[in-house]
Amino acid sequence: MNTTSDRPESGVDRSVGSERGIALLIAIMAMLFMTALGTALMLTTATETKISNNFRHSSESLYATDAGLERSMDDLLTVPDWNSLLSGAATSGFIDGAPGTRELADGTEFDLNEVLSFANCQKTSCSTADYSAVTLERPWGPNNPRWRLFAYGPVSNMIPTATLNSPFYVVVMVGDDPSENDGDPLLDGAVATNPGMGVIALRAEAFGPRGVHRVIEMTIARTDTTELERGYTGQRGQDEQNRRARKAAVQSPGKALTMKTLDTNTGGIQ
């Protein structure tokens, strides 16, 4: 005869109100919570570090481009004929070899010839028609600047003492001031009445780690003495695509744009 027993088998308590194993469940939940909290803290720390590095690189890129412009201004004082600048015959002493591929500290590579072409026509290579094409970036047609490489090299090599510790590479280009109306970007004003005579444009680009890129353009004008006047005409960065300054003709620098002058007699900055 078969009999049914109500006793639990193997000593296992099968009652509904049993709390056996609840401690293990709480421990697993606590471990999952602590893991999620630790992961969130790690992500926050890594994100804050990246934000801090990006801000530092953005600020340093501005200083690098400005340093390239200042260095180029020193060399411009030694060039008596600015037409030689526009033709590419005269260059700065700050050059690290023939144009070609350059590599940054983080392994990023870029080509100086492509940088020059992109400045001239927003392409990696330019045709004759591209130089005079009317675009949003270059609305002056035949008076569009024909950029030439003037100075380029690592910022760390900018002064002979090698005391600069910077991962940035700076490129400075020179071109005719687009406020001219002679239709010849290789000539610095055909007549004295030309509004752009004695005025040229400089374009500095800084390349840094993690794709940081800064562009500053400025105009340089001769004065009645041996000094130079400069005026910023536009500034763009990786996250600041402000093109308002480039939709209209570039202004010739005057008293309102004057920021700094250089004296070749004393070498001082006024």
Amino acid 258: pLDDT: 40
Instruction: Tell me the domain boundaries of the chain.
Output: 52-247
DSSP code for 44: H
Output the average pLDDT for the chain.
77
Token readout for 9 is: 């088998």
Pairing mode, strands 101-103 and 109-111: antiparallel
Rounded mean pLDDT, 241-251: 36
Q: Positive or negative CA dihedral for 195, 197, 199, 205? A: positive
Amino acid 174: pLDDT: 95
Which are the contacts of 72, defined by CB distance < 8 A and separation ≥ 6?
Answer: 92, 94, 150, 151, 172, 174, 202, 204
Rounded mean pLDDT, 107-134: 92
Amino acid 95: pLDDT: 92
CA dist 198 → 29, 45, 186, 204 (Å): 76, 53, 13, 20
Task: Please give the residue that has the higher pLDDT: either 91 or 233.
Answer: 91
Of the pLDDT bands very low, low, confident and very high (cuts 50, 70, 90), residue 16 is low
Amino acid 245: pLDDT: 34
Rounded mean pLDDT, 253-265: 42
Q: Residue 134, class by beta-carbon neighbours within 10 Å (0-12 exposed, 13-18 middle, 19+ buried)?
A: exposed
Token readout for 91 is: 């260059």
Of the pLDDT bands very low, low, confident and very high (cuts 50, 70, 90), residue 209 is confident
Spell out the alpha helix ranges (H) of 127-260: 128-132, 244-247
Amino acid 203: pLDDT: 94
